[in-house]
Structure 1
Amino acid sequence: MRTTRRAFTKAAGAMIALATTGIPSLAAPARAGTPSAAPAVRRGTYLIKNGMVITVDRNQGVLPRADILIRNGVIERIGRGLSVPGAQLIDATDMIVMPGFVNSHYHMWSAIGRSFTARNGGFSYYPAKSATSGLYTPEDFYNSVLLACAELVNGGTTTVHNWSHNTRSPAHADAELRAHQHSLLRARYSYGHIDKLPVDEVNRYHDLARVRREWFGADSPFDGLVHLGLNLRGPQQSTDAVFHEEMKFVKASGLPVAIHAPQESPNNVDAVDYERRGYLGPDFMIAHYIPATTEDLAAMARTKTPLSFATHSELRLSSTGDARAALFAMRAAGLTISLSSDATSIAPPDMFEMMRFTWNLGVPWAGTPSERASAISVQEVIEMATINGAVAMGIGDITGSITEGKRADIILVRAKDLNIWPIGNIETAIVQSGTTSNVDTVLVDGRLIKRHGRLLAYDVNRIVRGAQRSSARILDSAGEILKF
């Protein structure tokens, strides 16, 4: 097994602006220090009219035609023929309305490295990551994470788990968090370790108390959008003794935690043992875990431990595992399976593509343990891309479905575009035909972030320039190893 987990390359420079949304221009790239005040973006009262609504709420299902009232960031009412004086009308005629996507595992610090290629090994994710992870400055982290956020919003993702597994310094952590502040996305920031930390060295999280106080304390600039977590190297990148020592810290911190598990043999993550130790539970996320045994999966199911399945990555980075068989085994065990992109150098953070790929992968094969199973449905992959990710991040009561009382994280998809119209089944249309280019409108926490196909909350040109600046400097610093 290649001993490290994915996360390589992300970048983007720039800031948010736009007087029309009330977001001030941000003149300086990220730097360490006390966070500045959050950009002032007003939540409005919106009435979405006449949409084809995929609620992802099993009590409501799919509503062929419905209206949604949003007030102060909350989904206040869902019904037909709603009329609200003073509400801003959002005409959803010939549009599919659904909850924003949730990406449960994304190494955002390396977004700008999506096409970095090592001279020896071609594509090979790990050599390119190894050659560059130490070259990122705090400004590069800011540029990368903001680029990632803008791309996510553009494609309809409203919540992301930033699995930061190269937390190089306090300034780097501040840079990522400032990008989240400016992005206006819902997120978990999972504070981690420096890439290539020696396997026998315990990560003491020396800066965590400050981060918790300055970014997540009483004066947090996030307005409830971002919460804090931890990620551990686990047995993939540290010794068992180090992993268990770090878990003592995690349990004392009270924070949710995430670890990588193998994508191929050998299986060095023992979920049965972790259950005995009291590690497993809804606040312990595991990514990958392709070689998990039936007993491992049963332990996860008993404890409601969520699983993040990065479909592209599971296939690309496994030479001994069968991702399709693993997916069926996870499903048969009753796990909460969410979809994720891992790193941009492995897969794009495109939830439409992930849903479609997973749906096509989910076919039982004769002569295998899955042969008596039913095929994975479009409804299931939509849940994996929305509510299951929210549950995995501990915010299933806040987002992930269009339900009265939840926060308004909602996207509108143009259904009359050439690649979608005409529609027979609304859910099938989204999974089989939808693409990021069809996303017309995105609301996060009741704020309009994208409208009529245009990003309102980002200065895209500045973001692209910042990303290019960081990428060019890193490539130049890496030298011959990335000259392919």
Structure 2
Amino acid sequence: MLPQRTNLLISGTHLISMDPAVGDLPEADILVRDGRIAAIGPHSADRESGGAQVLDATGTVTLPGFVDTHWHLWNSLLRGTVGDRPGTDYFTVKRALAPHFEVADFYWAARFGLAEAISGGITTVHNFDHNVRDPQDADANIQAHLDSGLRGRFSYGPPDSAAPDVPNDLDDLAALRARWPESRLDDRLDFGIAVRGPYRTSPEVYEREWGTARSLGLPITMHCDRCMREEGCRNCGLVRLDELGLLGEDVQIIHAVHADEHDVSALARTRTRVSLSPMTELRTMGFPPLTELLEAGVRVSLSLDTLAMPTSADVLGHLRTIISVEAARTGSGVITPRRLLELATIDGARDLGIEHVTGSLTAGKRADIVILRSSDVNLTPSGDPVEALVYTGQIDNIDTVIADGRVLKRHGRLTVPDGEPDPLAMAAVRRDALLRRAAVAGDWHGPIAGDGTPPPTHPGPATFPDQGGTR
């Protein structure tokens, strides 16, 4: 059960609104009613709360919740199995374990990843699911997202390592809205499709997938990873996608690390969106061309990609890495601390088409809010709070996270309701059981933690399908 929405008065914070009309306010009050930002103004010590719970935010910095635009939540359970040792690279482990996922594994992997998102101040997550093995797997992810309290998108993909002539389950994709009407989604979740595209599927598959998505009005997301699959590759092949009519405002391209000037031009001309995942790209692909994309006018957002690489939801740490890399790589002044915060907040919301809902602290928008302690040792003394957050901020500075008006983290701790299963503990036992099943099948030869006891069968609330958590 989610925490109840509470009317709140955040009092006396340094506001970084990410809304030019509001600006930054060194001492501000933010009134939240019914999950929505009702008012923002200069701090007043004698302001009436109107019955709202007062959060004394003296000595804090407050900004919009971060927006992550590409995250494979299903493989969050793989953290700790992926590494640098031979045979433990991301793709080898993912392909070995993906077929052994049970329905409850999908649920708790997503809940675990989303719990880390909350801890890191991420209040919106685009779940790019490229291992939907049957409709129940999709339902598990959707239910987990709703149970987390966060906002986001679920993009329906194929089973991991599906053959090039096997399309997504387009019949179930079309049925998704009937099974999950808006009344069940709490205005927090929408749907999209995750496709493999022309370099990984046959024309019959990608033409049908694009056609179905556009007939349903669903946004499309695709990895641009041609250079990981074709020897001698010099570009992302996006010019070909443009010629095929596959790019456009309804398309999000992931990574685009090897995009050349012609690819970048095609992205800008078609207003196609790009989600960069710098931490995983730097580790396995190359330098993300952030400066070049922004200079060309391409719409860019940022994402974590996966916890399995392994990475963490330390957004501020990621921003610090990006600004350092771009300074060394290009010397351009395009990438500034404030520009990076925009990419992580309002530009992420624009990518997902929800900038009217979230991404900035603006009266009328939903209350997706992160409050950080600016009095912590690593943030003092401070000149420009924006620069301080990007250059020295840490996940440990996050005191409070509010998503859609619900307090999901307070005083540095996640607010798990009494009696609710702990997503962290559930993820650990589900992961160990997954490894045991894969080992029995001969697909896993690595270590297995735990004592061998069966995993809990509680996969979530009573409305969750398949209470046993198996197929």
Q: TM > 0.5 between the two?
A: yes
| Structure 1 segment 372-391 matched on structure 2, within 5 A | 373-374=332-333, 376-391=335-350
What letter corresponds to residue 249 of structure 2 in structure 1?
P
Question: Is 2:274 aligned against 1:311?
Answer: no
CA distance in 1, matches of 2:23, 2:95: 46
Match of 1:476 in 2: 436
Aligned partner (choices 201, 208, 213) of residue 238 of structure 1? 201
Which 10-residue stretch deviates more, 54-63 or 190-199? 54-63
Give the secondary-structure state (helix, strand or coil) at the position aligned to 1:290.
coil
Deviations 1:117-161 (A, max 9, x none): 379735411101111010110011111101111111111110000
What residue is the counterpart of 1:5 in the other structure?
none
- C-alpha distance in 2, partners of 1:482/1:297? 42
Aligned residues: 435
| Alignment counterpart, residue 349 of structure 1, candidates 313, 336, 352 | 313
Distance 1:119 1:155, change over 3 A: closer
Determine helix, strand or coil for the equivalent of 2:349: helix
Give, in angstroms, the shift of residue 364 of structure 1: 5.2
Matched, 1:291 2:236: no
Residues 155 and 141 of structure 1: is their aligned pair in 2 closer, same or farther, counting only changes over 3 Å? same
Letter in 2 for 1:74: R
1:241 shift after superposition: 4.8
For 1:204 and 1:269, locate their aligned partners in 2 and report how far apart those are by CA, in whole Å. Answer: 26
How many Å apart are 1:348 and its aligned residue?
1.7
Distance 2:312 2:87 in 1: 18
Partner of 1:408: 367
1:45 aligns with 2:22: no
CA contact (8 A) 2:170 2:209 kept: no
Give a deviation string over 1:433-484, Cα, whole Å, max 9, x none. Answer: 2222111111111111122222224568632221111111122223264427
Q: For 1:179-228, what per-residue CA distance to the aligned partner results, in whole angstroms no more than 9, with x for missing partners?
A: 1121110010111111111012233423223322121x25x322101111
Distance 1:427 1:181, change over 3 A: same
Q: Do the aligned residues in 2 keep the contact of 1:283 with 1:393 (CA within 8 Å)?
A: no
1:116-131 matched pairs, under 5 angstroms: 116-117=81-82, 121-131=86-96
Residues 1:355 and 1:419: Cα distance change in structure 2 (over 3 Å): same
Counterpart residue identity of residue 476, structure 1: R
Cα distance in 2, alignment partners of residues 225 and 205 from structure 1: 23
1:396 counterpart = 2:363? no
> Could you tell me which residue of structure 2 aligns to residue 36 of structure 1?
none
- Tell me whether 1:254 sits opposite 2:254 in the alignment: no
Give yes or no for contact 1:308–1:339 (8 Å, CA) kept in 2. yes
2: distance between equivalents of 1:348 and 1:239?
35
2:21 is the alignment partner of 1:62? no
Deviations 1:312-356 (A, max 9, x none): 1111112xx443xx2221121112221111111222232122211
Q: How far apart, in 2, do the equivalents of 1:336 and 1:208 lie?
A: 27
| Structure 1 CA distance for aligned equivalents of residues 147 and 319 of structure 2 | 28
> Is 2:189 the counterpart of 1:223?
no
Structure 1 counterpart of 2:294: 331
SS of structure 2 residue aligned to 1:53? strand
1:433 is the counterpart of 2:392: yes
Q: Deviations over 1:157-179 (max 9, x none)?
A: 10000001100111111111111
Name 1:155's counterpart in structure 2: 120
Answer whether contact 1:142 1:176 (CA < 8 A) is retained: yes
Deviation at residue 429 of structure 1 after TM alignment: 1.3
Question: How many Å apart are 1:272 and its aligned residue?
Answer: 3.3
3-state SS of the aligned residue for 1:343?
Answer: coil
Q: In 1, distance between residues paired with 2:271 and 2:384? A: 32
- Which of 104, 110, 123 aligns to 1:145? It is 110
C-alpha change, 1:222 and 1:457, in structure 2 (3 Å) is: farther
The 3-state SS of whatever aligns with 2:198 is helix
Summarize the alignment of residues 172-191 of structure 1 with structure 2, pairs less than 5 Å apart. 172-191=137-156
Structure-1 separation of matches of 2:247 and 2:354 = 18
1:454 aligns with 2:413: yes
Q: CA deviation at 1:431?
A: 0.8
Q: How far apart in 2 are the matches of 1:163 and 1:77?
A: 34
Alpha-carbon distance in structure 1 between the residues aligned to 2:202 and 2:235: 10
Q: 1:254–1:305: structure 2 CA closer, same or farther, 3 Å change rule?
A: same
The change in CA–CA distance for 1:419 and 1:236 in structure 2 (over 3 A counts) is farther
Change (3 A) 1:55 1:395: same
CA distance in 1: counterparts of 2:57 and 2:445, whole angstroms: 47
Distance in structure 1 (CA, Å) of the matches to 2:14 and 2:145:
31
- Describe how 1:254-293 pairs up with structure 2 within 5 A: 254-262=217-225, 264=227, 266=233, 269-293=236-260
**Deviation for aligned residue 1:240:** 4.7
Whole-angstrom CA distance in 1 between matches of 2:249 and 2:166: 27
CA distance in structure 1 between the aligned counterparts of 2:85 and 2:369, rounded to whole angstroms:
44
Q: Which moved more, 1:155-164 or 1:194-203?
A: 194-203
> Following the alignment from structure 1 to structure 2, what is the Cα–Cα distance between the partners of residues 56 and 262?
32
In structure 2, distance between residues paired with 1:268 and 1:288: 12
SS in structure 2 at match of 1:49: strand
CA–CA separation in structure 1 for the residues paired with 2:434 and 2:389: 38
8 Å Cα contact 1:103-1:351 kept in structure 2:
no
Pair 374,241 (structure 1): closer, same or farther in 2 beyond 3 Å? farther
Q: Quick one: which of 61, 64, 72 aligns to 1:107?
A: 72
Provide the alpha-carbon RMSD of the alignment: 2.1
Task: After superposition, give the CA deviation of every residue in 1:356-401 in whole Å (9 maximum; x if it has no partner).
Answer: 1111112154xxxx45x32511011111111111111111111011
Q: Percent identity?
A: 36
Q: Distance in 1 between matches of 2:427 and 2:369?
A: 28
* 1:53/1:64 contact within 8 Å kept: yes
Indicate how the Cα distance of structure 1 residues 236 and 483 shifts in structure 2: closer, same or farther if over 3 A, else same: farther
TM-score, normalization by structure 1: 0.85
Distance 2:38 2:406 in 1: 15
2:164 maps to 1:203: no
Structure 1: 5+ residue stretches without partners: 1-22, 24-38
8 Å contact kept, 1:142–1:179: yes
User: Residues 458 and 435 (structure 1 numbering): CA distance in 2 closer, same or farther, change over 3 Å?
Assistant: farther
* Aligned residues of 1:411 and 1:443 also touching (Cα < 8 A): yes
Read off the aligned partner of 1:242 and give its amino acid letter. Answer: V
Contact 1:364–1:374 (Cα < 8 Å) also in 2: no
